[in-house]
Structure 1
C-alpha cells in the first residue's frame, strides 16, 4: 500500500507560506545572517538538544542593517509611557512607531519562529488612522495611543486564525475579537502580531507541527518556555512593547524566566480572558482550574503602565471580570517610610528541592532586600498543605477525558510532539461528585494557606503581617529544550488565585556551577528525582546554564494585584542596586 502523507503536512506548508508572505521582501534577513539550522521546522521538533550549537541572536536586529537608526531608537529608547507621550505630542508618528516594531518583529520571527499571525498590514493601516485622528482633533484615541502590542495565538482577532498550532484549526478565522483585544484597541494600542504556543497548550516548551518550535533568542539550546513562549521571545527581542499571554500552570511566568523579562499573572477577573481558542470543551475553566490573562514586558514600569489602564476598565469588556482600581503612581522613594514592607522568603514547596543556584539567587535577593530601608525580610515556614497544591492543580486541569483536544490532533494525522508522547492520553471524565471533592479539597487548602500571610495558627486573623513573598519560579535554571521539570512552583498560585510575577535578577555565572559538588539533601519523590537530573553531572553538563537568566517569583494574596506590582518594583529596585527607601504598606 502506497504511503499517504498525513493531512497536516499540506496544511502546515500552506500556513508557513502564508506566514512568510506576510513579511515584505525588504524586511527579510540575508540567508548568511540566519544561523544554520535555526528554522528547520521538522528538525526543531524531532532532534534532541544535543544537536544544537550554542547560538545567541539578540544583537542581530541592531547589526543586520534592516532597521534604520530612527527605527532602532524607536524600538530601544522608550518605555511604554515615554513612547506613548512621544506619539501623543506628535514628536513621533504612530505609523513610524508601528512600522519600526513590525520590522523588528519580522526579524525576531526569522530568527526564533515566534509568530503565528503577522498583522503588519492591518497594524500599519490602524496606525495611519490614529495619526489622522490626532492631527484632526489634537487628542489621542486613548491612553495607549499608538502603542505596538502583541497577543498569544489563543486570543481571537476577527478575520484571523486562532489555530493554536493545530492544523485542524488552521484557515478558520475568528468571527469576533476577544474582549481583551477590544479593550486594547479602545485604549489606542495596535496589535501587530499573534505569537506561537505548544501543541495542546500544555507543555512548557513552545513547539508544534504547524509553526515549529520557538527558539530562545538568548541561546537556542535553552527552552523559550511555554505556553506563551512565542510572546516571550518577541518581547525579549524588542519586537513588541508589551505582550499578553495566559497562565494556568506558569505560562506567563515561565517564558519570562526563560528569556530574562518580566511576567505578571494577575488574579482571576483583573484582565479579560474570554474569547479565546483553547482546543478544550467550552466552559471547562469554569468548573476546573481557571487560567488568567496577563502581560509580559521588559520592565516593571511597563507592566504598571498597561495594567493601570486595563484593570479599571476590564469589567466593561469582560464578562469574567470584576470591578477594579489601579493607582497611577509608582512607589515614591521617600526619605522615611512610615511602615515596614514585609517580604517573606519561601525557599521550597516541600515537594521539589530547588537546585543550588536557585537557592543562591533567592538568598541574594533576600539579602538585597534586607539592605533596603523600609523593608523587613522574614523566613516563611513551609505551610503543611503547600506540597499538596501541585497534584491538586494538575487534577483540576485534567477534569475531562482529553478527547476534544486529541480528536483535533488525530483528525489531521498529527503525532504528539516528543515531550507529550507517553504523557498525554485519553482519560476519563470526572463525575460531579469527584469534581466536588476536588473543589472541597481546594477550599480547605485555601483556608490553610491564609495562615501564611498572618503568621498565625488561625485561618482567621485580624492582621496581615506579610505583604509579599519571594520564592523560585522553578526549582531549576532555564533548562535545555524539552527538559523543563516541575510546574508546582507556578501552578500552585493559580490554584490559590494569588497574583504572581517573574522578576529577572542576574545571569548564571561560573561561580554558580559548583563543579564536582553534588546535592546531599534527601530525594523527596519522583518530581524531586527528575529535578536532580538537571544538576547531576552524569546527566547534564552544567555549563549549559552559563549566561542564562536567573529570576525570582513574587507573590501577594488574592486580589492584591496592585500590591504585586509594588512588591515587584521593590524587589526589582533592590536587585538592580537602586533600592532606596520605600514608603508603601500593602
Structure 2
C-alpha cells in the first residue's frame, strides 16, 4: 500500500469512523483477538496459512462482555419466539437490540464483518418501539423489535453505501432503500451494514476500506461473497436475520461457507431498489437482474420474515410483484394431495462435483427416500444446462466496465490480488448483441421447463397433456467444499439459477468428516474443460492438503420453478427435517 495514494487516507478515516462506533466496554481484550485482525490493509494480501485454523465461535459466550441475560436473548430464541417475548412485555426491544448490537461488535472484532455499525440509532429506535408499545398496547408491526442487518449496498438514510470503494466513502444516502423502508414499517430494527468484496465480482469479501472478512469457523476458509459480512454475523448470532443480494450466488455462497440458511427468491419477491452497485443505473433491467433475500439460522426464521415481506413487496418497491405467502392463521395441509417429488441433479455438465459433494447429495437423497410422502427421482442432465453459466457471465458483462473502474482508478486503488488480470475495460454490447443474448436465454428457459414437467402425449403440444412432475430439485451449491481464501472456483451452480430466475435455498447438512477425505484416491473421470480442471486443483493431493476441509460445513441447494417461492420454503422445510432427523416432530407437514 503506497501511503501517499488518495485511497489510503480515506481508508484510514473510514476505519477510524467504524472503530469509534464500538463503545470501550464492548471491546475485546487484546489476548482474545486472533493474530492478523488489527491491520485491515495487511489482511488483503495475507494468505490462509497466515491466519491459522482458528475457530472464534465461542468467544462471544466466554469473553464476559455479554451479560447472562444478553446471552439468553441472543441464543435461545427464533424470530417468532423473540418477537413474542417483546410484544408480550417479557423483554423490551431496547435490551434485545443492545444484546445483538454488543454481539455484532464482538463478531466484527473477530471477523471484520461490519462496515457501518448503526448501534446508537438502533438503540434509540428500540426505545421508541418500547414507548409505543407501552402507550398503545400494540406493537409497531409484525417484526416489532427484531434486530436485522443489511449488506452495505442498501441505502440507509444518512449513512454511506461505499461498497468498499474509497471513491464512494463519506457520501451518505439521502433516503432509505425500499427494503429498508419495508423492514422499518414492519417494526424491525436495522443494527448494522455488512462487508463485501471490491467490485462485488469476487467470492472472497475483501476491500481497501474495511479489509478482509474472515470465516469464524476457520479463518483459513473463505467467508464467501459478495454478501460476505452477513455470513459471519448471522453465524455468530450478531443479528437475527441478514439481507444480502444475489446475482451469481452472493446469498447462497456465504450461507454455504458458514453453515447457515440462505434464500434467493425470484425477481420481485423482495424489493431491490435503492442500492449502490458501482454500475451504470438500470443495468439489471437489461442484463441479468440481481435479487435481494435473507440469510438466517433456520428455515423457520427465513419463513418468518418472508411471510411479512412477500405480500407487501409490491407496495414498497417499483420492482415488487404481487406475491403469495400464507399467513400463520392458515394451517398447512396435513396430507399432500399426491407425493411430494424431489429430483436429484448431480452435475451441471461443466464441472464435476468433487467426491464429498457427490456423497452429500447421495446422503440427502437417501434420507428423503425414508421421509413419508416424499418420492425421490434422479434428474438427467438437461442439454441446456451446460449453456447457462457462460450465458450468465456474458449478461453480467454487457457494459464496458468503465463505471466501476473509473471509481477505482480515480482514487488510485489497486485491484484485489484475485481481481488482477480478471477485470478490465471491454467493449459494451450493442442493442442487437444484447437482444441476441436474451433470445438465447429464452430458448434455454424453454428447454429447461422440461426438467419440471412430464408430457403425457409426447406428440401433443396442448397444455392439458402436461403436468408437474417434480416439485423441488436438490443439487450442489458449489462443486467443491468450503475452500481456502481466494480459492472459490465455479459459480455455475449458483449463477445458473439467477439466469433462470428459479428460487434457490441453502440447507446445511453436516460437517466434512475424516471419511470424506478419501486419502490416496484421485478422481479418474475425464476432465470436462478449464473450469473442471481448476476445480480438481481443490482435490488433487499435489495441489491441496485435503485435511483443510475437515469440519467445514457441507450443504445442499434446493430449487423450485420460477415464482414458486413459498414452495421453496416448504421444500427446504422437508429437506431440513429429513437431514436433522426431525421429521414428525412438528405439527406442520408437507
Structure 1 and Structure 2 fold alike (TM over 0.5): yes
Partner of 1:528: 532
Partner of 2:417: 418
Partner of 1:346: 345
Mean Cα deviation higher: 137-146 or 331-340: 331-340
Q: CA RMSD in A?
A: 1.6
Within a 5 Å distance, the mapping from 1:78-477 to structure 2 comes to 78-329=77-328, 337-456=336-455, 462-477=466-481
Partner of 1:75: 74
- Could you tell me how far apart the structure 2 residues matched to 1:222 and 1:335 are? 42
TM-score scaled by length of structure 2: 0.97
Q: SS where residue 46 of structure 1 aligns?
A: coil
Cα drift, residue 40 of structure 1? 2.4
2:516 maps to 1:501: no
Cα drift, residue 50 of structure 1? 2.7
- Could you tell me how far apart the structure 1 residues matched to 2:198 and 2:232 are? 17
Q: Is the 8 A contact 1:28 1:107 kept in 2?
A: yes
Cα drift, residue 521 of structure 1? 0.6
TM-score scaled by length of structure 1: 0.98
Cα drift, residue 462 of structure 1? 2.3
Q: Identify unmatched segments of 5+ residues in structure 1.
A: none
Q: Is the 8 A contact 1:326 1:562 kept in 2?
A: yes
Q: SS where residue 229 of structure 1 aligns?
A: coil
Q: SS where residue 51 of structure 1 aligns?
A: helix
Q: Is the 8 A contact 1:486 1:527 kept in 2?
A: yes
Cα drift, residue 333 of structure 1? 9.0
Counterpart selection for 2:492 from 478, 488, 493: 488
- Could you tell me how far apart the structure 2 residues matched to 1:541 and 1:39 are? 28
Within a 5 Å distance, the mapping from 1:506-521 to structure 2 comes to 506-521=510-525
Cα drift, residue 4 of structure 1? 6.7
2:566 maps to 1:562: yes
Aligned residues: 583
Cα drift, residue 580 of structure 1? 3.1
Q: Is the 8 A contact 1:344 1:470 kept in 2?
A: yes
- Could you tell me how far apart the structure 1 residues matched to 2:329 and 2:74 are? 24
Q: SS where residue 36 of structure 1 aligns?
A: coil
Partner of 2:36: 37
Q: Is the 8 A contact 2:335 2:589 kept in 1?
A: no
Deviations 1:451-488 (A, max 9, x none): 00014468865211100000000000000000000000
- Could you tell me how far apart the structure 1 residues matched to 2:364 and 2:583 are? 11
Deviations 1:9-37 (A, max 9, x none): 00000000000000000000000011112
Change in CA separation of 1:341 and 1:490 when aligned onto 2, cut-off 3 Å = same
Deviations 1:512-541 (A, max 9, x none): 000000001100000000000000000000
Cα drift, residue 362 of structure 1? 0.4
- Could you tell me how far apart the structure 1 residues matched to 2:477 and 2:176 are? 32
